[in-house]
Amino acid sequence: MFDDLNDLYQQVILDHSKKPRNYGRMEHPTCDACGKNPLCGDQIQVFAVMDGDKILEVKFEGDGCAIFKASASMMTDALKGKTQAESNVLFDEFHELITKGTAPEGNHLGKLEVFGGVNRFPARVKCALLSWRAAMAAVGTGEKTVSTE
């Protein structure tokens, strides 16, 4: 199904989906949130340790498709050490990349650009965004349960 994706990008995504980074339950998170994508069946719980507005640690548990797992894995790496404001900027840039296929000039996405091909698979857009929406819910204020529907 990913025939159109560049081989290298495909490899990075497969690697993260098979060996997700920062996977597992966190014993003493300062915040957490749940998310689900009913259309695909992806489910996630995100845990984080915050120091003021800085994200020190992020972990996740859950199950779902390859794009979901790879996105969650790379999200945890990307958000560690970021402030809430920085993570909001990154989420906006990632959202634009996933939905439009291109990211703004001077973005901070780095390795996350491997998801640039996902917008050509509309059914996978929600899979790629789920972990990020859950993470934003965890480190932000307000509703701690997100659904893509």
Query: Can you give the binding site for Zn ion, defined by CB under 5 A?
Result: 40, 42, 64-65, 68, 127
Task: Compute the least distance from the CB of residue 1 to Zn ion, in Å.
Answer: 12
Give the C-alpha separation, 139 to 122, whole Å.
27
Q: Measured from the CB of residue 130, what is the shortest distance to Zn ion in angstroms? A: 7
* Minimum CB distance to Zn ion, residue 63 (Å): 10
User: Both ends of the chain: CA-CA distance in Å?
Assistant: 23
Nearer to Zn ion, 40 or 50 (CB): 40
**Between 64 and 117, CB nearer to Zn ion:** 64
Q: Which is nearer to Zn ion, 23 or 54 (CB)?
A: 23
Using alpha carbons, select from 52, 2, 8 the residue that is nearest to residue 31. 52
- Kind and range of the H or E run holding 147: strand 145-147
Question: Length of the chain, please?
Answer: 149
